[in-house]
């Protein structure tokens, strides 16, 4: 069997709705193939959740049919955050959890993510085995053994109580005004309730999903509306979730954006403050040098790994550490959850605010992030710009120029047909020019969309 995956990327299977592989027929077969491979524990049930995209209804029906053909029962939750499905998969002792979502992408995209019975992302070898099963013809189990579908009506309530359980029982959020942006995604009916029931004054935006407004000018990928609302309301802070609730970006009381690196720093430094820190922090190649230096200054170890929360998770397990993060807002806290959970991560930052009696901005005084420039270039799916000699030479030239005072990272996205350019350094004007130089080399020498 080839070790190269055809469909699974860094975060499940994703693409444009109506184009292969995000089509009803393929998703039906995927449900069947996954059902055949994942049915091991004898419960024969799978938890299926989705975000608020209009295409979720179509894909949910296809998945349900495929799983039924393999003899598995579907428990449907309706719109629920991705980490909620990981949690429910564990509590129901299900064979697997499946989320229909394209995370932070706009509504035209959708995708499928799988969780194991332990609530963790599937390892590469299992994804490869599912892909091999897709090459076979569908064979239904006997009629008496076909799967059925039921709806879990109290899914939201179960997850809300779990989230609240990760906040200290002897504390509350009384006196805090919090603006919450749910990106018109799957946290719209969850997050406001969690923070309200813990005592805060909640102002919610992005909580009116209509199937096509998910992530549109809202959420963790666009915090401008949140920044304005925090300042207008004179709020203590703002929370921005992405469409499926596994990313969190924050806004402090001054309107400053607080990214995943800074959030991880606060959680780790507060664990150190409370004498509860176990090991260090795992980040990725995108982690800001300023965050690494800040952790070093307070004696917290740091390890970098490949980009993608699955690789952060692997390193955490290897080191037996508990805190991992990506700059984009994926925060993994293994002492509380099995995957990135935006609401739980936000609650840990709020724990630090309450425990230390400091504002969000004050908790970040030990961190000075280096300026970063990020550029995305659309490329053809079969294009590999990083193999072009001119592009390689340009990247090498920029890397030599930056030396130890900065860095450059150019990579293909694992979820979209994009080439991502990141340049980091001490001077914003300089790194802007360097990023533009690399972008121009790519535009002149590669197949673009």
The residues that are catalytic are 103
Q: What are phi and psi of 334, to 5 degrees?
A: -70, -10
With both helix axes pointing from N to C terminus, report the angle between 289-297 and 260-273 in degrees, rounded to the nearest 10. Answer: 10
437, two tokens: 């130089």
In angstroms, what CA-CA distances link 290 with 278, 296, 368? 22, 10, 5
User: Residue 250 belongs to what H/E stretch?
Assistant: strand 248-251
**Distance of alpha carbon 433 from alpha carbon 423, whole angstroms:** 10
- CA torsion sign for 12, 1, 123, 385 is negative
Contacting residues for 60 by C-beta, under 8 A, at least 6 apart: 48, 50, 76, 100
* Cα 358 from chain centroid (whole Å): 28
The first and second tokens of residue 324, run together, are 């991992």
Beta partners for residue 47, in sequence order: 75, 97
Query: In terms of Cα–Cα distance, which of 346, 334, 307 is closest to 120?
Result: 334
Classify strands 96-100 and 109-115 as parallel, antiparallel or unpaired: antiparallel
- Is 230 within 8 Å of 237 (Cβ atoms)? yes
- State the DSSP code for 376: E
CA dihedral 3, 4, 7, 13 (to 10 degrees): 80
Q: How far apart are CA 328 and CA 261, in angstroms?
A: 8
Residue 381 near residue 415 (C-beta atoms within 8 A): no
Q: How far apart are CA 183 and CA 380, in angstroms?
A: 29
Are 200 and 178 a contacting pair, CB within 8 Å?
yes
Radius of gyration of the chain from its Cα atoms, rounded to whole angstroms: 22
Q: What is the dihedral of CA 293, 289, 322, 356, to 10 degrees?
A: 50
Phi-psi region of 149 (alpha: psi -120 to 50; beta: other; left: phi over 0): beta
């Amino acid at each position: 069997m080839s070790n190269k995956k055809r469909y699974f990327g860094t975060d499940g299977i994703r693409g444009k709705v109506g184009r292969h592989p995000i089509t009803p027929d393929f998703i039906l077969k995927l449900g069947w193939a996954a059902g055949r491979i994942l049915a091991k524990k004898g419960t024969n049930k799978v938890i299926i959740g989705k975000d608020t995209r209009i295409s979720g209804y179509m894909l949910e029906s296809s998945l349900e049919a495929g799983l039924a053909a393999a003899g598995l029962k579907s428990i449907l939750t309706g719109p629920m955050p991705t980490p909620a499905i990981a949690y429910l998969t564990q509590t129901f002792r299900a064979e697997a959890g499946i989320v229909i979502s394209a995370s932070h992408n706009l509504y035209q995209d959708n995708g499928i993510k799988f969780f194991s019975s332990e609530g963790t992302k599937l390892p590469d070898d299992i994804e490869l085995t599912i892909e091999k099963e897709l090459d076979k013809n569908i064979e239904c189990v006997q009629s008496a053994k076909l799967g059925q579908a039921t709806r879990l009506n109290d899914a939201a309530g179960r997850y809300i109580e779990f989230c609240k359980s990760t906040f200290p029982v002897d504390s509350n959020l009384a006196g805090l005004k919090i603006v919450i942006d749910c990106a018109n995604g799957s946290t719209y009916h969850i997050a406001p309730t969690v923070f309200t029931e813990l005592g805060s004054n909640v102002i919610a935006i992005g909580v009116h999903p209509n199937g096509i407004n998910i992530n549109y000018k809202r959420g963790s990928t666009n915090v401008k509306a949140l920044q304005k609302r925090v300042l207008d309301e004179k709020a203590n802070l703002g929370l921005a979730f992405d469409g499926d609730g596994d990313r969190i970006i924050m806004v402090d009381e001054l309107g400053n954006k607080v990214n995943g690196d800074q959030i991880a720093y606060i959680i780790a430094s507060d664990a150190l403050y409370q004498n509860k820190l176990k090991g260090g922090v795992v980040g990725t190649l995108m982690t800001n040098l300023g965050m690494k230096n800040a952790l070093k200054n307070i004696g917290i170890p740091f390890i970098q790994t490949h980009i993608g929360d699955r690789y952060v998770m692997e390193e955490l397990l290897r080191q037996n550490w508990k805190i991992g993060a990506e700059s984009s807002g994926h925060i993994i806290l293994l002492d509380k959850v099995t995957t990135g959970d935006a609401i739980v991560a936000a609650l840990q930052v709020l724990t630090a605010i309450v425990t230390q009696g400091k504002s969000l901005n004050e908790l970040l005084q030990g961190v000075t992030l280096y300026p970063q420039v990020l550029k995305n270039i659309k490329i053809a799916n079969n294009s590999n710009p990083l193999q072009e000699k001119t592009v390689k030479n340009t990247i090498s030239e920029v890397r030599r120029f930056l030396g130890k005072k900065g860095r450059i990272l150019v990579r293909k996205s694992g979820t979209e047909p994009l080439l991502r350019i990141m340049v980091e350094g001490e001077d914003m004007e300089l790194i802007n020019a360097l990023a533009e130089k690399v972008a121009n080399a790519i535009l002149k020498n590669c197949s673009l969309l």
